[in-house]
Amino acid sequence: MLEIKNLVKKYKEVVAVDDISFSIRKGTCFGLLGPNGAGKTTTIEVIEDIIPPTSGEILYKGKQRLSSFKQEVGIQFQQTALLSSLTLRETLITFKNLYNDPADIEEIIDICNLREIQKRLNDKISGGQKQRLMLALAMINKPELLFLDEPSTGLDPQARRNLWSIVQKIKEKGNTIILTTHYMEEAQHLCDEIAIMDNGKIIARGTPHQLIKEHCEGVTVILPKNSIKIPLSQFPFRFREINGRLEIRTNDINSCLNRLLSEHIDLTEMIVRSPNLENVFLNLTGKQLRD
């Protein structure tokens, strides 16, 4: 669907995007992740044809982007100003009239769970409802390629999960999605493939499972300190103590648990934490999700 070749974007002496290349298969969700200032937003804006590249090539369906490109893609921005005097339905109709071959509004309303609130004014809806409206507007032209720029920022967990289910429905319809997000759980849940950027370069790429397997080792076993009845000097594993809990890193969970049981250690309150994308992100960039 999309192929990026040796993309560079410079601002005077600053290299925001530094010779990156990747491709995105049709019908997949591709996540572009990175700390603030990594270059991911600039990359997306160049791909969207909002700003020009300094050099490099962008192929859409194997060809250079034509003037019809913006008619064929959908973009959900982080912030979009809407007329407060219009209802959600009126807003969808207004945007529908901007395109030559728009989607069926009723179908979009149902996909984005807007049926019950379609007659509300734009300034009378919650943050989660507004994000669903933004997603609906991005889909109004029946895009084959959909850009989602941090779609769930600021949403509570319930609204975020609701948005994820809508994105899953869109994937099932065969749309290709490019997602940027600061929520690693969101990327792990939605993305088929992920590229992590830092300092303008792609430093890792693969499926969530591949990235976790390649860049993280073992699991962490967490036990309350008061469940350990033997002297800690005799504890059979290396550990670190944090807030009254012992954390053990192990590459062999079965052997670890068997040994703990053999020492008659109570495992009732044990927590086993597998590595996730956030661990990958921090291991690779050494930075928190938001700088």
Instruction: State how many domains the chain has.
Output: 2
Question: What is the residue-averaged pLDDT of the chain?
Answer: 89
Same domain, 9 and 153: yes
Domain closes at, from 183, 213, 243: 213
DSSP secondary structure letter of residue 98: T
Share of the chain above pLDDT 70, in %: 98
Does residue 227 share a domain with residue 208?
Answer: no
Give me the residue label for tokens 């889909």. 139
What confidence tens digit (pLDDT) does each residue in 253-285 have? Answer: 898 899 888 888 889 899 998 888 988 988 888
Q: Is residue 27 part of a domain?
A: yes
Helix, strand, coil share (%) of the chain residues, nearest 5: 35, 25, 35
177 and 56 belong to one structural domain: yes
Look at residue 65 and tell me if it is in a domain. Answer: yes
End position of a domain, from candidates 198, 213, 228: 213
Tell me, yes or no, whether 154 and 243 share the same domain.
no
Q: What is the pLDDT of residues 173-211, one digit of tens each?
A: 889 999 998 888 999 999 999 999 999 999 999 999 999
Give the domain extent around 109: 2-213
Q: Are residues 187 and 50 in the same domain?
A: yes
pLDDT number for residue 23: 94
Statement to judge: residues 56 and 170 lie in one domain: yes
Same domain flag for 51 and 163: yes
Are 40 and 33 in contact, with CB atoms under 8 Å apart? yes
Q: Is residue 217 scored above 70 in pLDDT?
A: yes
- Residue 149: inside a domain, yes or no? yes
Q: For residues 230 and 147, state if they share a domain.
A: no
Task: Write the DSSP symbol of residue 3.
Answer: E
Strand partners, 90: none
Q: What is the CATH number of the domain that holds 116?
A: 3.40.50.300
Q: How far are the Cα atoms of 1, 143, 190 from residue 176, in angstroms, in the given order?
A: 8, 9, 12
What pLDDT digit, counting tens, does each position of 2-46 carry?
999 999 999 988 999 999 999 999 999 999 999 888 899 899 999
Q: Are residues 147 and 261 in the same domain?
A: no
Single out the residue in 213, 239, 266 at which a domain terminates: 213
Asked whether residue 155 is assigned to any structural domain, the reply reads yes
pLDDT for 157 beyond 90: no
Q: What is the mean pLDDT of residues 67-96?
A: 87
Which alpha helices (DSSP H) does the chain contain, by range? Answer: 40-47, 69-72, 88-96, 105-111, 127-138, 157-172, 184-190, 208-215, 253-262, 277-285
The band of 291, judged by pLDDT with boundaries at 50, 70 and 90, is very low
Q: What is the pLDDT of residue 25?
A: 93
- What's the pLDDT at 290? 46
| pLDDT in the model for residue 252 | 87
Q: Is 53 exposed, middle or buried (0-12, 13-18, 19+ CB in 10 A)?
A: buried
Instruction: Give me the pLDDT at residue 146, please.
Output: 94
Is 222 in the same domain as 96?
Answer: no
Q: Do 136 and 200 fall within a single domain?
A: yes
Same domain for 139 and 244?
A: no
Cβ atoms of 8 and 15 within 8 Å: the answer is yes
| 250 is a domain residue | yes
